[in-house]
A and B are shown apart, each in its own frame.
Chain A
Amino acid sequence: MKPAPFDYRAPATLQEAIDLLAAEPEALLIAGGQSLMPVLAFRLASPSMLVDLRRVAGLGDIAIDGGGVLLGARVRWRDIDDDPRLQTAHPLLREAIAHVAHYQIRNRGTVGGSLAHADPAAELPGIAVTCDAEITLAGAAGARTLRAGEFFTGPLSTARRPDEIITELHLPLWPRNRRWAFQEFAQRQGDFALAGTALFYDEDQDGLVRNAHVGVIGACDRPQRLTEVETLLNGHAVGEGLFREAAEAAAQAVDPPDDLHANAAYRRGLVATLVARGLRASHIRGR
């Protein structure tokens, strides 16, 4: 399974990379290559040129400040694992990323690559959407920032234009006493999730749920926030009864695909299970 032939460039600067993409409409970007290389091996894509970001500096940093967490597009899964600050700065991100793929892939796969590939079952897009993250892109027309909810347009589709390069992902500041959970179920460790959920909320001084964010992966054609479930949770007291209602609402709110691994009915049930378990876990966590 060898790819079709292509030219290869490894530009030294971001602007050179953008210029190459703009000049060569059939070119594709490559960073870690963990998603793109299989696509090329199956000849599902035959780009005329690959533009490699490996020499472009400044895209590999994790910056944490009062505004939140900024991940450069070339930050790898293992960089997230290895950064101890994220345990408190964004525990939900850290937990979700622990489920990504396998040991070898984690050494190469990148934030930008995952966002650009937009697999509906992938963890990072799910975190981005759940947390209202912002994605910055640089292209021939300049730089722009999109909210994650607008960025993902369908299975393996995004709003990125062919000449644009994702440069960073920004996650809003994460308060210390936030309740959160990440729950995923895959057939084997490291497989794409049959479904997963990332959720968080804050508890006010009366023990009521505020600012609920409930996101789902693998159960729709793109990562999705379940606003009906969030509405159901907000302003109510935490407890088993509320959690079960929310789980049931989650099952109804998704429109899962049927595929060779599972049918829609199962995925709905799985979403309900994972949301319920996530809410129970979030309730205990942060006490």
Chain B
Amino acid sequence: MIGTNRYIGSPVERIEDLRFLRGRGEFVGDLRRDGMLHAAILRSPIAHGRIRRLDAAAGRALPGVHAVITATEIGAVPRIPLRLLPLPGTERFLQPVIAADRVRYVGEPIAVVLAASAALAEDGVGAIALDIDELPPVADRRASGRDGILLFEESGTNLAMQFTATLGDADAAFRDAPYVRRERFQTQRYTALPMESRGVLAEWDAGRVRMTVLGAAKVPFFNRDTLAAMLGLAPADVDLIENDVGGGFGARGEFYPEDFLIPFAARHIGRPVRWIEDRREHLTAMNHARQADCEVEIACRRDGTILGLRGEVFVDLGAYVRTNGLIQPRTLAQFFSGPYRVPNIRITSMALLTNKTPSGTYRAPGRYEASFFCERLIELAAGDLEIDSAEMRRRNLIAAAEMPYKLARLEPGGPAADTECDSGDYREALERCLAEFGWVDKRTLQGRLINGRYHGIAVACFIEGSGAGPKETARLELEPDGTVAVYVGSAAVGQGLETVMAQIAADTLGIPLDQVRVLHGSTLYLQEGYGAFASRSTVLGGSAVFEGAKVLLEKIRTAAAARLGEAAADVELVDGRARTSDGRSLSLSELAADGLRVDTAFANNNRLTYSYGSAAAHVAVDPGTGHVDLLDFLVVEDVGRIVNPLTLHGQAIGGIVQGLGGAFMENLVYDGNGQLLAGNLADYLIPTASDFPRIRAIALENHPSTSDPLGVKGAGEGAIIPVGGLMANAVANALASFGAMPNQLPLSPARVWQMGPMEGQTSP
């Protein structure tokens, strides 16, 4: 198909690593400009209220403080638009770039202080006099649904949007079903928590009328256009530059208020301005995620065949609809059934506004939650019907012969209303997982008390829809020094983009890897681009690079042929030189003067391609403490085609550990006044090196994608999907003798303890 394939499929060590290992990365906090000022943001300490008084005089008077910017200085600016699913009605709930009169969550920006240092800016924030008349907060989704107190009075409701996923006739299926089980489940509010918090460095060039913003990530082109509109500039007058990014996971890179406030401040003051988010503000400022609860039911035949799924899901969206805030509720509904054959579905998903930090996407948004809900239901049904957990999955997995398999139709769904699982053999991955895990042997441990701990095992299956369209762009240019520069519209968020794209380009062209240089993300490089989300970079970006490299190869061969007086068909590119059959050759740098370059894009008509897999886990529960020891975790995923097995494995392990954090310990707890109680990293707990040392991941490439020329499917989000449901089912099975019902995440020690014998509480 292409070149030599000596890099694609190889565990190539990452090019990016060299600078990171030396401490030479360039994250936005590492950058500075002459004359730069530092910004700090005054944020609402109250969850719901009206600003009665904002007096910045004392702040402005502090030595070292250069300005305090409020809504007064900013004036009228469009609200932050939705990047995804801008459905009619959502315009009522968009977030303003700064609070003018009303505040709707603790952490909402109210003023920006500019000073000579970050410490002085923080001093300035502390000196501003702020009085807020409190309004009763809408503390949770139940209060929200009563529509008693409204966050947006003119809209008349707190229901931001409702989605319904439908297939077949759910009511008929449930009416006639021999077995029905109905339950309530809940996932908690938590967050992506990249290790690098956010930051923006903005420079305004008044002479050239040009705004340059560093610290961009994920979707720089959309954000550039949004910012330009807000500043009254043409998109061509604004550059968003992506530097090194300390993790994104879906949360970083969306357009936040600070993405306007800091550039505005730079233009207002006429000096570069840098803002670096601190961790405390990060926990109230960056997108929250995942909080949902549901009441759902499953209908089955006595042999375990699933007939239907029906129910209602409630998402606690927070105070505004953010740029991608509706993805979680819509995906939860449409993918509720996961990889299972469910002929009759009706799931309604409601996004409700509350006085909390707004939420958005976080790695496999909606899918993690759906998998928890669905896998719990399936496990309960399996138990009631006395069917082995693995057999229950086996019977209900979509079969290879059924591909493409249509999932539930989503309304309102727009172009993505319908989707189908495109290719693959889901059972093959399940069988491989069970065999590697040792399911048959480990089954004998189910529910047993061994050395003071209760043992449980569980299995779960998942699909990952990847490669969200519409397209991705690339430009390849032959440089004077004979290297090939590859500019991609994809963004790097730590996933190894530079290396993976280089592997594809090098193999396609047939040149050594070190002759390829990948530049990404910045609006400087390309006219348009789409970015890194929904595990699309390799699928779409990689395909764009692949197609572009093929065209560039032809151009190189043609140019060399002209110079050497041969036909292009007689010229091959071997080890970086254009060679004829009789041994004459030209180096690439000799050809560079011909100005060889290709601008390309790859579009997939918004057709998702689905990775899939299964995961199994073995836990031991300590009834005295509620601690869950993860003795073994195995995931098997078929990703279509593996470009770099090293980085792919890293995505799986990393995703699983994030999922485990959500399953056991991460929790953005709010009190009844809308105050975030988990406001620092001593209270918001993420996994550490000693928590989950036994995790295995196996990648398969047995069923390449038919949607792109490389055959790849996305692999950034699959492994996290089944973790919540898997852990809950394993704990349920371990504590089955106590009728444990782990229907709520996280499975904190206190919660798990309460499901067991509560040893210590009763006398012997």
Direct contact, A vs B (beta carbon within 8 Å): yes
Is B683 on the interface with A (CB-CB < 8 A)?
yes
Evaluate contact between B690 and A263: CB separation under 8 angstroms: no
Partner of B748 from the list A187, A270, A271, A273 (CB cut-off 8 Å) is A187
Task: Tell me, in angstroms, the Cα distance from A265 to B751 when the chains sit together.
Answer: 11
Is A2 on the interface with B (CB-CB < 8 A)?
yes
Partner of A188 from the list B624, B677, B688, B753 (CB cut-off 8 Å) is B688
Selecting from B115-123, B136-144, B360-368, the interface stretch reads: B115-123
Residues of chain B lying within 8 A (CB to CB) of residue A38 = 682
Task: Tell me, in angstroms, the Cα distance from A194 to B752 when the chains sit together.
Answer: 14
Kindly name the residue among B691, B750, B753 whose own CB sees the greatest number of chain A CB atoms within 10 A: B750
Residues of chain A lying within 8 A (CB to CB) of residue B760 = 247-248, 251, 268-273, 276
Residues of chain A lying within 8 A (CB to CB) of residue B761 = 251, 265, 268-269, 272
Task: Tell me, in angstroms, the Cα distance from A197 to B86 when the chains sit together.
Answer: 56
Residues of chain B lying within 8 A (CB to CB) of residue A4 = 123, 126
Task: Tell me, in angstroms, the Cα distance from A276 to B123 when the chains sit together.
Answer: 51
Query: Interface digits, B620-631 against A, CB 8 Å rule (1 contact, 0 not)?
Result: 000011110000
Query: How many whole Å from B181's CB to the nearest CB in chain A?
Result: 29
Query: How many whole Å from B329's CB to the nearest CB in chain A?
Result: 26
Q: Please, which residue of chain B has its CB at the minimum distance from the CB of A244?
A: B764
Residues of chain A lying within 8 A (CB to CB) of residue B688 = 188-190
Partner of A191 from the list B119, B126, B279, B685 (CB cut-off 8 Å) is B685
Tell me the B677-691 residues at the A interface (CB within 8 Å). Answer: 677-678, 680, 682-683, 685, 687-688, 690-691
Task: Tell me, in angstroms, the Cα distance from A37 to B625 when the chains sit together.
Answer: 32
Residues of chain A lying within 8 A (CB to CB) of residue B624 = 269-270, 273-274, 276-277
A-B contacts counted at CB < 8 A amount to: 90
With A251-B761, A262-B749, A269-B761 as given contacts, are A188 and B754 in contact (CB-CB < 8 Å)? no
Q: Is the interface of B mostly helix, strand, loop or mixed?
A: loop
Chain A, interface residues (CB within 8 Å), range:
35 or more
Kindly name the residue among A244, A265, A273, A276 whose own CB sees the greatest number of chain B CB atoms within 10 A: A273
Residues of chain B lying within 8 A (CB to CB) of residue A84 = none
Q: How many residues of B contact A (CB 8 A)?
A: 36
Residues of chain A lying within 8 A (CB to CB) of residue B627 = 185
Is B278 on the interface with A (CB-CB < 8 A)?
yes
Query: Interface digits, A245-273 against B, CB 8 Å rule (1 contact, 0 not)?
Result: 00110010000000011110110111111
Q: Please, which residue of chain A has its CB at the minimum distance from the CB of B764?
A: A244
Evaluate contact between A188 and B691: CB separation under 8 angstroms: yes
Task: Tell me, in angstroms, the Cα distance from A187 to B750 when the chains sit together.
Answer: 10
Query: How many whole Å from B442's CB to the nearest CB in chain A?
Result: 26
Residues of chain B lying within 8 A (CB to CB) of residue A248 = 760, 763
Q: Please, which residue of chain B has its CB at the minimum distance from the CB of A3?
A: B119
Evaluate contact between A266 and B677: CB separation under 8 angstroms: no
Is B758 on the interface with A (CB-CB < 8 A)?
yes
With A185-B625, A187-B748, A270-B760 as given contacts, are A5 and B685 in contact (CB-CB < 8 Å)? no
Query: How many whole Å from A149's CB to the nearest CB in chain B?
Result: 26
Evaluate contact between B753 and A266: CB separation under 8 angstroms: yes
Query: How many whole Å from A56's CB to the nearest CB in chain B?
Result: 28
Query: Interface digits, B463-487 against A, CB 8 Å rule (1 contact, 0 not)?
Result: 0000000000000000000000000
Tell me the B265-283 residues at the A interface (CB within 8 Å). Answer: 278-280
Q: Please, which residue of chain A has its CB at the minimum distance from the CB of B749?
A: A187
Task: Tell me, in angstroms, the Cα distance from A38 to B126 when the chains sit together.
Answer: 18
Task: Tell me, in angstroms, the Cα distance from A241 to B763 when the chains sit together.
Answer: 10
Task: Tell me, in angstroms, the Cα distance from A189 to B690 when the chains sit together.
Answer: 7
Residues of chain B lying within 8 A (CB to CB) of residue A190 = 688
Is B759 on the interface with A (CB-CB < 8 A)?
yes
Is B543 on the interface with A (CB-CB < 8 A)?
no
Residues of chain A lying within 8 A (CB to CB) of residue B753 = 266, 269-270
Task: Tell me, in angstroms, the Cα distance from A184 to B520 when the chains sit together.
Answer: 49
Tell me the A207-264 residues at the B interface (CB within 8 Å). Answer: 241, 244, 247-248, 251, 260-263
Is A1 on the interface with B (CB-CB < 8 A)?
yes
Residues of chain A lying within 8 A (CB to CB) of residue B691 = 188-189
Q: Please, which residue of chain B has its CB at the minimum distance from the CB of A1?
A: B278
Residues of chain B lying within 8 A (CB to CB) of residue A187 = 665, 685, 748-749
Is A42 on the interface with B (CB-CB < 8 A)?
yes
Is B669 on the interface with A (CB-CB < 8 A)?
yes
Query: Interface digits, A87-106 against B, CB 8 Å rule (1 contact, 0 not)?
Result: 00000000000000000000
Q: List 8 A-B contacts (CB under 8 A).
A: A5-B119, A38-B682, A244-B764, A261-B750, A269-B753, A269-B760, A270-B749, A270-B760
Interface pairs A-B: 9 shortest CB-CB: A272-B760, A273-B624, A2-B119, A266-B750, A262-B750, A273-B760, A260-B669, A269-B760, A1-B278
Query: With A42-B280, A187-B665, A188-B685 given, can you name 12 additional A-B contacts, CB distance below 8 Å?
Result: A38-B682, A42-B680, A194-B750, A244-B764, A248-B760, A266-B626, A266-B753, A266-B754, A269-B760, A269-B761, A272-B759, A272-B761
